Amino acid sequence: MTDVERVKTTAEEYLRLVSQEHDGIIELINGELIIYEGDDVPKDDHQLISSSIFLVLRLLLGRERVRYAPVNVYLDSETYVEPDIFWAGAADSVCQLNTETGFWYGAPALVVEVLSPCSVKRDRIEKFALYEKHGVREYWIVDPEGFVLEVYTLENGRYQRHGAYAPGMSFASPLLDHTFDVHALFNS
């Protein structure tokens, strides 16, 4: 497992970097620039699973407010993230598209992160805390190696673990009021 490059920077510098051509993914988390390149960029199994989940969510929620990485989400002046998948929520939610920048501003209603070797700590600890702090109402963490999907729901400003699910199981999303077949999420 490799660690990605981390550099302290400003939001202005981040915006300059992402507006240029770059290979890989660039995020700004708590003022720290994180660059994923080369071996750190998600591989085929990550893409297969994330595209399956995206397809299921898009069919359920429509095309207007479901997005797939790389799309930037601005959470605060020190944090721009690129969730693997997110649903902005209803049209009147806090997460809105700025058509000038092409970035989304405000916390999405649902975020899905698919783990890769270089992102486990960041997705489980750093982004978990950020999404909780900014009010992401439901957070799914997907382990493509263990074929496990964990669901966390925001209750009174804190994430509560709704459960962990594997293919052959199903779960009801409190946010989406829908029951998902985990096998279909991993294999659509």
Residue 16 lies in a domain: no
* Pairwise CA distance, residues 187 & 53, whole Å: 8
127 CB burial (10 A radius; 0-12, 13-18, 19+)? buried
The total of structural domains in the chain comes to 1
Indicate the SS3 state at residue 111. strand
Residue 97 counted as domain residue:
yes
DSSP 124: I
Domain that residue 73 falls in: 42-187
pLDDT of res. 2? 44
Residue 71 forms part of a structural domain: yes
Pairing of strands 103-105, 73-76: parallel
Q: Coil, strand, or helix at residue 135?
A: coil
Please check whether residue 34 lies inside any domain of the structure. Answer: no
With beta carbons less than 8 A apart as the criterion, state whether 14 and 33 touch. Answer: yes
In terms of C-beta distances under 8 Å and separation of at least 24 residues, what long-range contacts does 90-98 make, across chains too? 90/65, 91/64, 91/65, 94/135, 95/65
Q: Is residue 109 part of a domain?
A: yes
Whether 5 is in a domain gets the answer no
Q: What is the pLDDT along the chain (188 residues), one digit of tens a residue?
A: 345 556 676 666 666 666 555 556 677 777 777 766 655 556 678 889 999 999 999 999 999 999 998 888 999 988 889 999 999 999 989 999 999 888 899 999 999 999 988 788 889 999 999 999 999 999 999 999 999 999 999 999 999 999 999 999 999 999 999 999 999 999 97
Residue keyed to tokens 């407010």 = 65
Neighbours of 29 (CB within 10 A): 18
pLDDT value of residue 54: 97
Is 61 among the domain residues? yes
| Residue-level pLDDT at 1 | 38
How much is the pLDDT for 94? 95
Task: State how far the Cα of 4 lies from the Cα of 6, in Å rounded to an integer.
Answer: 6
pLDDT value for 165: 98
- pLDDT score of 184: 95
The CATH number covering residue 72 comes to 3.90.1570.10
pLDDT at 9: 67
How far is residue 6 from each of residues 1, 26, 29, 33, 148, measured CA to CA in Å? Answer: 15, 10, 10, 5, 28
Residue 137 within a domain: yes
